[in-house]
């Protein structure tokens, strides 16, 4: 499967305010392995406008630096050809997809989903895996012990490289079955057999006091938002236990 880890940097947070894309990076991954750097796409783009102060503080790309760079119209077809039929992997996909749709729409080129096989939002995946936790790219790198020491400012290319590692960690269960293609691993009928590995005793990690306090605080917030109808609280304190007390 061909997948593209994609990230953009923009002149501001809201596409509705006329902000534009000023950097695109797209990193190719084939069968869960990153391709060589010459197979990646990385473009700085002249957005034809200044960046908002908040965005400039994030990416550091000034209009002076971008003034001689190609405009989106100049790289649009190269970009489309690169991502065509691939599955996109994006952190907070609605943001980047919204900007890509805007830029393509300005050129009468439709939407990004017209060209790709699908879009995976790793932020949504992380929220499912770690509800109530911080799930920014930095937070996920820290959680998975991925080195982000080179990420001083946000940059589309380095963010893609980090996101590729995060995505592989988020989906590592997909590699849990090992298929042996060697002669010794074939079944009597000549087919492929699954190899099993001996398992050690299951490790049980007890939560720390800080984690228990964070869990309780989260349940307090959740219980308040549903007006005392939090199912988790009902499970922790069943009516029978309350009457026995």
Residue 163 counted as domain residue: yes
41-66 average pLDDT score: 94
Q: Is residue 183 part of a domain?
A: no
Mean pLDDT for the stretch of residues 132-161: 88
1-52 residue pLDDT tens: 899 999 999 999 999 999 999 999 999 999 999 999 888 999 999 999 999 9
How far is residue 22's CA from residue 8's CA, in Å, rounded to a whole number? 7
Specify if 70 maps to a domain. yes
Q: Are residues 152 and 222 in the same domain?
A: no
Weakest-pLDDT range from 30-44, 54-68, 88-102, 202-216: 202-216
Q: pLDDT at residue 53 above 90?
A: yes
Q: Nearest Cα to 130, choosing from 143, 141, 117?
A: 143
Q: Specify if 158 maps to a domain.
A: yes
* Average pLDDT over all residues of the chain: 84
Based on C-alpha coordinates, what's the Rg of the chain?
23
**Do 190 and 183 form a contact (C-beta atoms < 8 A)?**
no
Based on the structure, what is the number of domains in the chain?
A: 2
Do 221 and 138 fall into the same domain?
no
From 130, 151, 174, give the residue that closes a domain: 174
- Asked, for residue 189, whether it belongs to a domain, the answer is no
135 and 221 share a domain? no
For residue 195, being part of any structural domain is answered with no
Q: Are residues 140 and 218 in the same domain?
A: no
- Distance between CA 7 and CA 2 in Å, rounded? 17
* Residues 219 and 102 reside in one and the same domain: no
CB 20 within 8 Å of CB 49: yes
pLDDT at 191 over 60: no
pLDDT tens, position by position, 79-122: 999 999 999 999 999 999 999 999 999 999 999 999 999 999 99
pLDDT band at 74 (very low <50, low <70, confident <90, very high): very high
Structural domain contains residue 182: no
Confidence check: pLDDT of 232 > 60: yes
Residues labelled catalytic: 154
> Which of 147, 174, 201 finishes a domain?
174
Give the confidence band of 203 by pLDDT, cuts at 50, 70, 90.
low
pLDDT mean over 61-70:
96
> Half-sphere exposure (CA, 13 Å, Cβ side) for 99?
25
State the CATH number of the domain containing residue 94: 3.30.420.10
* CB-count exposure of residue 36 (10 Å: 0-12, 13-18, 19+): exposed
Same domain, 156 and 216: no
pLDDT at 182 over 80: no
In this structure, are 113 and 223 located in the same domain? Answer: no
Position 243 scores a pLDDT of 47
pLDDT of residue 184 exceeding 70, the answer is: no
138 and 24 share one domain:
yes
Residue 109 lies in domain: 2-174
Percent of the chain scoring above 90 in pLDDT: 62
- In this structure, the answer to whether residues 83 and 158 fall within a common structural domain is yes
Say whether both 13 and 59 belong to one domain. Answer: yes
Specify whether 220 is located in the same domain as 103: no
């Amino acid at each position: 499967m061909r997948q593209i880890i994609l990230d953009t940097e923009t002149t501001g947070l809201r596409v509705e305010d006329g902000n534009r894309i000023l950097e695109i990076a797209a990193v190719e991954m084939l069968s869960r392995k990153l391709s060589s750097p010459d197979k990646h796409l990385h473009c700085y783009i002249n957005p034809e406008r200044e960046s908002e102060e908040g965005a400039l503080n994030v990416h550091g790309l000034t209009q002076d630096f971008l003034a001689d760079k190609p405009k989106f119209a100049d790289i649009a077809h190269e970009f489309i050809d690169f991502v065509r039929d691939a599955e996109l992997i994006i952190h907070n996909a609605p943001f980047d997809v919204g900007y890509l749709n805007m830029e393509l729409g300005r050129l009468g080129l439709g939407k990004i989903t017209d060209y790709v096989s699908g879009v995976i939002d790793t932020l949504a995946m992380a929220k499912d895996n770690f509800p109530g936790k911080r799930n920014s790219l930095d937070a996920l790198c820290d959680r998975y012990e991925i080195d982000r020491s080179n990420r001083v400012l946000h940059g589309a290319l380095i963010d893609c490289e980090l996101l590729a590692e995060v995505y592989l960690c988020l989906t590592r269960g997909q590699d849990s079955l090992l298929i042996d293609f060697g002669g010794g691993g074939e079944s009597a009928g000549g087919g492929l057999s699954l190899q099993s590995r001996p398992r050690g005793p299951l490790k049980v990690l007890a939560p720390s006091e800080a984690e228990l306090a964070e869990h309780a605080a989260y349940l307090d917030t959740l219980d308040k938002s549903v007006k005392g109808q939090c199912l988790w609280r009902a499970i922790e304190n069943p009516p029978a236990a309350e009457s026995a007390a």
